[in-house]
Amino acid sequence: MFEVSIIMPVYNVSAHLPRAIQSALNQTKMDFELILVNDGSTDDSGAICDHFAEEEPLLIQVIHQKNQGSGMARNAGLRKAKGKYIYFADPDDYFSPTLLADNVRLAEEKKADVVVFGYTREVEGKPEDLEILLPRQPHFYTQEGFRKHFRNFYHFSPYSLWNKLYRRQYLIEHKIRFTNQKLGQDALFNINVYKEIKDVAFNRKAYYHYVTHDGSAVNRYRDDRFMMELNIALEFKKLVEHWGMEIEFNDLLKREFWNPVYLELANIAHPDCPMTEEEKVEWIKTICEEENIKHYVIQQDRKESNPFRYLLHQRIQKGKYLMAIQLMEKRNASANNYGKLFSKMKRFFTS
């Protein structure tokens, strides 16, 4: 048995993949395996995986499969994993040599089922544009403690996989796997992790480098984006209902159901959106008639410090959908880089 199984889903990332794999191989003082799941890549990614596996046959195994999405790719890795702990890394990022050793040591010391650690946010090609984010929570040893302090936990990338180490036995016992949803499967996975969690440790050092690239999945128009974002909000609602804490976390529920509305406004404001102006208005109107969005977004006010988001929410609440759409379109048009703007909006909701 290995101490850690690193699972890395791979799809058309040949430009960044060698750096990601090498950062895994650079891990110090740790018995680990690296499982590369080539999810039907059409570039050189599969060949790169095979090359590294030939160089390090005792450490690396490669799974080649038809394209099914990163969630199914991670499930394929989980089925092969033998490590005591699971670490999910993305193929277009990289991480420090002591990530595994330091966080496994902390997991053992605290007997934690999940370890959360800090990370550095950076933009590809702009080494000066860095932001270090660190968790500030205390360690949790009981379900009551974790749930009581969940609001603080929620505000530190609760849905990210790459800043967490998971005890494999916990995932097995609670039958936690990824869904086939194309976007947001990381959020759905972690929501299931949190349902019964009690032992969570925090490492206040940054180990992972989360790199923003142009052309990622969140930067283009998708006609199915709203339903995927709504599904995350609905699963989050089930989580707090499971805990019996809907009243305590009403503010988080308002945020969760505002998230799909906000992101869908950005989505249909994308230059590639084929909808007419009238179709966009009708679509936003339909969205706002969904019962949870009506309850948490339309019928309730939100505390909002950002003037743009506040104004946008006001327009939606008052049924001024065209004004809301135009406001988002003007905001996007004024940005020099649409992808950078959308990434910032997405990070706002996932950090």
What are the pLDDT digits (tens) for 96-135? 999 999 999 999 999 999 999 999 999 888 877 899 999 9
| 166 in Cβ contact with 193 (< 8 Å) | yes
Buried-state track 270-288, b at ≥16 Cβ within 10 A, e below 16: beebeeeeeebbebbeebb
62: pLDDT strictly greater than 80: yes
Tokens of 290: 């969904």
CA–CA–CA angle 303, 257, 251 (5° rounding): 40
DSSP annotation string for 154-223: HTS-TT-STTEEEEHHHHHHTT----S-SSSHHHHHHHHHHTS---EEEEEEEEEEEEE-TT-GGGS--T
The residue to which tokens 């869904």 are assigned: 179
341: pLDDT strictly greater than 60: no
Buried-state track 218-232, b at ≥16 Cβ within 10 A, e below 16: bbbebeebbebbbbb
With CA atoms as reference, report the closest residue to 89 among 27, 180, 31: 27
Tokens of 173: 């016992």
Q: Which domains does the chain have, with CATH numbers?
A: 4-212 (3.90.550.10), 218-350 (no CATH)
What are the pLDDT digits (tens) for 142-176? 999 999 999 999 999 999 999 999 999 999 999 99
Give residue 217's pLDDT band: very low, low, confident or very high (50, 70, 90).
very low
| 201 in Cβ contact with 106 (< 8 Å) | yes
pLDDT at site 343: 54
| 287 in Cβ contact with 295 (< 8 Å) | no
Determine which helix (DSSP H) or strand (DSSP E) holds 287, and give its type and residue range.
Answer: helix 277-287
| 269 in Cβ contact with 327 (< 8 Å) | no
| Cα–Cα distance, 44 to 146 (Å, whole number) | 43
Torsion of CA 317, 322, 323, 327, to 10 degrees: 110
Tokens of 180: 């086939």
What are the pLDDT digits (tens) for 240-259? 999 999 999 999 999 999 99
Rg of the Cα trace of the chain? Answer: 21
Give residue 302's pLDDT band: very low, low, confident or very high (50, 70, 90).
confident
To the nearest 5 percent, what fractions of the chain are helix, strand and coil?
A: 50, 20, 35
| 14 in Cβ contact with 82 (< 8 Å) | no
Task: HSE, CB side, 13 Å, CA atoms: give it for residue 1.
Answer: 8
Distance in Å from the first CA to the final CA of the chain: 34
Single-letter amino acid, residue 338: Y
